[in-house]
A and B are shown apart, each in its own frame.
Chain A
Amino acid sequence: MKFIIDRFDGKKNYQQTYTVEKKDIEALTLLGTLLFIKQHQDITLNFTASCRMAICGACGVRVNGHAYLACDTKMTELFEEYKDADTFRISPLSNYTVISDLAVDWEPSIENLRKVKPGLVAKSEFSEKEGCRQNQEEYDRIVGQWDCILCGVCASECNKLSADRSDYMEPFVYTRAWKVANDSRTKDPMIHVKPTVTNGLWNCVHCHECTNRCPKHISAAEDIAGLRAMAMRKGLNSGVGPAHAKSFYTDLVEDSGRLNEIRLALRTEGMSTALRAAANKE
C-alpha cells in the first residue's frame, strides 16, 4: 500500500510516496507506521513523538485531511474508516506553520496560552501553606478541560482558523482560559476571560469541528460558549461592557453563550469590535 506524505525541507514543498507491505504495518499504530518508514526507507522524514501513549500531545498529524493523534490511532481503524483504501495521504496539522515535513511550530501557541494568563490566582482565603479546598462538584466542572494534551488536533480542524488566523487563537487556548476562569478556586475569572475577548472570543463560528475530533473528548466550542456567557454576565454586571451589549444579551440562549444563529452573522462583528474597544480602554 501507499502513503503519500506532504513534505517540506525548509525551502520547498513536495509530495513523496512510500510503498509498504500491509502486513508490516497492519498491527501498528499510525505512529508505528511513520517510525517504520523513517527507520527502513527514509531517514530524512521528520515528525515528532515522545510518549507513544497518547498523553504528551506530540504526534498530531493529518490523514486524508483530518487530524489524528498518530500514536493513538491504530492502522486497522484507519482501514475501517477509509473502507480499505490502499493509499493514504499524510500531512502536517493544518493552521500551523510547518517547520519540516510533519513537524509544526508550537511557539505561537505557547504565546497564545500566555495571553490568557492560564496560571491560577487563588482566592484570598487559600494559601500556599495550606492549599485550597474544592468540593466534588466544583472539581468535576473543570476536570474535563484539564485533559487537554496540547496536541493541536482541534486547531487543525478549526474552520475559523482556516479562514483567518490573524484574529483568532487555537481552540485549546480558549479551553485553557475557561478551565481556569471556571475554577472555584479562582479569585477573579475576568483575569482570564478578558484576554480571550480581545483575542477573538466572538469570532468562533460554532461549527464544532474542534469537538468532533479531540482525542480527549473536549469541546472547545462549549468552552468558548462558557467564556462568552461569563463575559456577558460579568461585563453587564460590572459595567465594563459597552452599554449596547445588552441588546445582544437577549440573543443568548439562557446564558449558554451561544448567539441566535440567524442574527449571528449580522451582529457578531459589531459585538466583537465593541467588546474589543471596551477592553482596550482599560
Chain B
Amino acid sequence: MSEQFTRREFLQSACITMGALAVSTTGADKAFAATSTSTPNTSGMPSCDVLIIGSGAAGLRAAVAARKKNPNLSVVVVSKVMPTRSATTMAEGGINGVIDFSEGDSFELHAKDTVKGGDFLVDQDTALKFATYAGAAIHELDYLGMPFSRNAKGEVNKRYAGGASKIRCNFASDKTGHILTHTCLDDALKHGVKFLMDHHMLDLSIENGRCEGVVLRNIRTGDIAPVRAKSVVLATGGYTRVFWNRTSTPFIATGDGAAAVLRAGLVFKDPEMLQFHPTGVCHGGTLITEAARGEGGILLNNQGERFMKRYVPNKMELAPRDIVARSIETEIREGRAFGHDMEAYVLLDVTHLGKEKIMRDLPQIRHIGMLFENMDLVEKPIAIRPTAHYSMGGIHVTSIDTMATPAPGLYAAGEAACVSIHGANRLGGNSLCDATVTGKIAGTNAAEYAAKADFGAGKRLNDLTLKWTSHFKEITGSGKGNVNDMYALREELGAANWYNMGIFRTESKLLELADKHAEFQARYNAIRIPNANPVFNTAYTEYVELGNLLLASRAALMGATARKESRGSHYREDYLKRDDANFLDWKDVVVGQFKIEERKY
C-alpha cells in the first residue's frame, strides 16, 4: 500500500520547492489539492494539510504518523537546515524505554524515576503514559530498522543512565541519536514525506484563536512567503543557545518555535528550566560525555586538588550531574580554577587510565579534546566547565494524549514542547524517547484535525508576511552596520545569561540581568546587517535567531525571578529549599502580555 503510494508521490516530484508551492494553481499545489480530503485552498497562497516545522526525531516521527493516519493528506516537513543536521543527531548515550521486565523493571518505575528526576514538577499521569509509550517506541524503532546494539540473545542492548533505578537506556553504540535520526529519515522517505529544506519559519499566525499557517523564508532565494496549513506541528527543538558559547547543543537550537509562540500570544511553559551538564569543553561547550567520569576520570582545581572530595566524598566525580556542575562552578567562583571570565575552567584528568584504555574506551572524547582544546588527553588533562544541555521548558501543550496547544490546529513535540514530562530536570536518555513518542502523537492528532478542518482566512498571515518582508529590507538594506556587531552582542547575551541566570541564581543577579536584557534588546533593534543579498543570507538568519534567543532569555528570566525556590536545575541561592506549597502547581509565562499565569490542568 504505502509502497505504491510512495512511487506515485515520487513521480509527483517528491521534494517540493518554495517556487513550486508559490505557483498555487499548478505543480505541487495541485498535487496537494488532489490528495486533500477537505475544502481546497482557494486563497492563492501556497498550502498543505499538515505542516511540520523541524526535522529532528520529533518532526520526522510526526510526519510519518500523519501520513499513516491519513495517506491522503499532504505532509511537508520544513527545516532551516538539511533534514539530518539536528540536535537529535548529536545524542550519544541512549534512549530510555522499558522492554525487559525480567529484572523487575516496569513502566511504573520508569515513570517514578522521571518524576523524581524532574523534582516533582512532572505531571505524574503524563509520566506514566510517557513511560508506557516509550517501551513500545523501542520495539517500533527496532522494527523500522534502527540498528540497536545487541545483547547475546540478539535483543536490543541497554546501559545505565543517570537517575534511573534500573538499566533501561537502550543504545546504538555511542551515537544513538545519529542512528535514530537516520532511521527516522529513511522511514519518512519510505512514507512519502516531502521536505522543504533551507526554509526558516519566521512566524506563526494565530487568527481568531486558531492556527492558520506560518511565514517561511526560503533561505536559498530570500523569498518570504505565507504557507497556509490546516494543522501545524512545531518540532523546532530547544533554546539552550541562550547561553551561546556555553552549550553542548547545535548552532540551530535558538528557540524559534517558543519565540514564535510567544509572539502569537500563546504560552511558553517553565522557561526557566534549563539543564546543565557538568563537563563541556572550555572553548565552546561541546559535550564531554559522562563516560569520561564513569571510566574513572577525576576533576582537579588549580591547586591540583581533587575537589569533589569536599562536596560529595562518598561519590566524588560520580555524584549526580547537577551537584558536580555546582561544585565546579563553586571552584571557579572562589578562585580555585584556571583561566578567567567565560574561559574559566577546571581540569578533567584521564591520563592515569593509560593510552590503551583511552584509545579503546574513550576515543570520541579524546577526539573532541583534539578538536576544541588542541590537546591530547592521553598526555594532559582537558579544560572543562559545565555547559547548558537541554531545555525542559517549552511550548505549552495541553495533554500528552494529543500534544495539542490551546490554539486549535497547532501542535508541538519534542524538546520544543513542554508537556511536563521532564519537570525541573530531565533524566539522561529521556529526551530521545520524548521526541520519538510525542512526535508521533502530535503527527497523528494533527492529521486527524487536518482531515476535518478547513483552511483559515489567511489575512493575518498575509500581514505578517508583509511585516517580515519589510523587516528584511530594513535590517539588511541600509548599507550600514559593522561586521562584528551582532556576533559581539550574541556573545555578551550568552555570557550575561550564564553569569546571572546560569547554575547559580539570586534575586540581585536576576534583577541585574533584566536591565541588561533591556539594553541588549535596544542594541539588537538598532543593529543593521551589512549584506543586502537575499540569496542564502546566513547573517540575516542569525539575526532572526538572535532575536528569538533574546525573547527566550527574557521569558526564562521572568520564570527564574518569580520562582522563589530551588528545584531541579533551577538553583536559587537565596531560596535553597524546594517550596511545594507555593510552587508545585505553578506557573507559566505568557510574555505576550508580559505576565506570569497560573498553571491550569
Contact = CB atoms under 8 A, between A and B. Distances in A.
Contact of A53 (B141, B190, B371): B371
B139 A129 contact: yes
Contacts of B83: 110
Contacts of B311: none
B424 to A, nearest CB: 27
A114 B14 contact: yes
B189 A118 contact: yes
A243 interface: no
A49 B367 CA distance: 18
Given A10-B533, A146-B182, A183-B145, A106 B189 contact: no
Contacts of B155: 131, 133
A58 interface: yes
A29 B371 contact: yes
B320 to A, nearest CB: 25
Contacts of B81: 48, 50, 58
A110 B536 contact: no
Nearest to B536: A100
Nearest to A37: B483
Interface string A13-57: 000000000000001010000000011111110111111111111
Nearest to A191: B3
B143 interface: yes
A118 to B, nearest CB: 4
A39 B489 CA distance: 12
Interface stretch (A78-86, A135-143, A156-164, A257-265): A135-143
Interface stretch (A69-77, A227-235, A245-253, A273-281): A69-77
B139 A131 contact: yes
Contacts of A185: 145
Contacts of B486: 43
B179 interface: yes
Q: How large is the interface on A (under 10, 10 to 19, 20 to 34, 35 or more residues)?
A: 35 or more
Contact of B190 (A118, A139, A143, A150): A118
A6 to B, nearest CB: 14
B284 interface: yes
Contacts of B186: 113, 118-120, 176, 180
A40 B483 contact: yes
Contacts of B143: 122, 126-128, 131-132
Interface stretch (B115-123, B146-154, B569-577): B146-154
A128 B141 CA distance: 8
Contact of A55 (B14, B90, B99, B138): B90
A56 B89 contact: yes
Contact of B154 (A40, A135, A148, A180): A135
B198 to A, nearest CB: 8
Of A51, A107, A130, most buried by chain B (CB within 10 Å of CB) is A51
B82 A9 contact: no
Nearest to B529: A43
Interface string B67-88: 0000000000000011111100
A50 B251 contact: yes
Contacts of A223: none
A111 B11 CA distance: 11
A57 B145 contact: no
A149 B178 CA distance: 8
B485 to A, nearest CB: 9
Interface residues of B, number: 73
B149 A100 contact: no
Of A40, A49, A120, A122, most buried by chain B (CB within 10 Å of CB) is A120
B536 A103 contact: yes
A107 B505 CA distance: 45
Contact of A131 (B142, B372, B483): B142
A143 B147 contact: yes
A55 to B, nearest CB: 5
B82 A58 contact: yes
Interface string B349-387: 000000000000000000110111010000000000000
A112 to B, nearest CB: 10
Contacts of B187: 119
B197 A119 contact: no
Interface string A92-134: 0000000111010111001101110111101000111111111
A77 B483 CA distance: 29
B85 A131 contact: no
Nearest to A142: B147
B140 interface: yes
Nearest to A41: B483
A147 B172 CA distance: 11
Contacts of A139: 147, 149-150
B14 A111 contact: yes
Contacts of B286: 52-53
Nearest to A132: B142
A56 B150 contact: no
Contacts of B250: 50-52, 56
A122 B145 CA distance: 7
Interface string B151-193: 0011110000000000000001101001100100111011100
B382 to A, nearest CB: 14
Given A53-B371, A118-B186, A134-B154, A99 B15 contact: no
A18 to B, nearest CB: 12
Of B17, B140, B529, B535, most buried by chain A (CB within 10 Å of CB) is B535
Q: Which 8 A-B pairs have the closest CB atoms?
A: A119-B190, A120-B145, A10-B535, A131-B142, A100-B536, A131-B139, A133-B154, A118-B186
Interface of B: 6, 10, 14-15, 17, 81-86, 89-90, 99, 136, 138-145, 147, 149-150, 153-156, 172-173, 175, 178-179, 182, 185-187, 189-191, 195, 197-198, 220-221, 250-252, 284, 286-287, 367-368, 370-372, 374, 483-484, 486-487, 529-531, 533-539
